[in-house]
Structure 1
Amino acid sequence: MHGITWEDPFCAEGNSCFRLGTDANGNGYIAVAGHEDACVKDSLEALRVLIRDIKAGKADHLL
């Protein structure tokens, strides 16, 4: 996808590697590393809330 700045992959235990990205329009993206063309897109704030909830153990089953 063009216009998205991807961060380095974050790899947890096992083979789960994810990438976070942003674009110039204030959107945030989450994708499985190597499959950035099939990413989830939302506002940066919505993705921040999702990531905070996952880190807090509220949504660990999503990953």
Structure 2
Amino acid sequence: MNRIEWEEPYCGEGNNCFRLGVDGDGNAYIAVVGQEDHYLTDTRDALRNLIRDIKAGKADHLL
């Protein structure tokens, strides 16, 4: 497995902070800040689509 390159943390309101990362094999990662060793992973395309859907409001019913 390639090394994960983590972005700077993104924090919403309060302490809801997470990080996005990628590796050299085209995989994308999401983790809670401070728990980067417990991540979710998928392809970069899947992460890109997830972010687009969230921005489009498709996950608003979860909030």
TM-score, normalisation: structure 1: 0.88
More helix by share: 1
After TM superposition, what 4+ stretches of structure 1 lie above 4 angstroms from structure 2?
A: none
Q: Matched residues in 2 for 1:18 and 1:55: separation?
A: 16
RMSD between superposed Cα atoms in Å: 1.4
The match for 2:19 is: 19
> C-alpha displacement at 1:52, in angstroms?
1.0
> C-alpha displacement at 1:45, in angstroms?
0.3
Larger Rg: 2
TM-score, normalisation: structure 2: 0.88
The match for 2:33 is: 33
Unpaired runs of at least 5, structure 1: none
The match for 2:53 is: 53
* DSSP 3-state at the match of 2:37: helix
Number of matched pairs: 61
Q: Matched residues in 2 for 1:52 and 1:16: separation?
A: 19
Q: Matched residues in 2 for 1:8 and 1:49: separation?
A: 20
Unpaired runs of at least 5, structure 2: none
Identity, % of aligned positions: 64
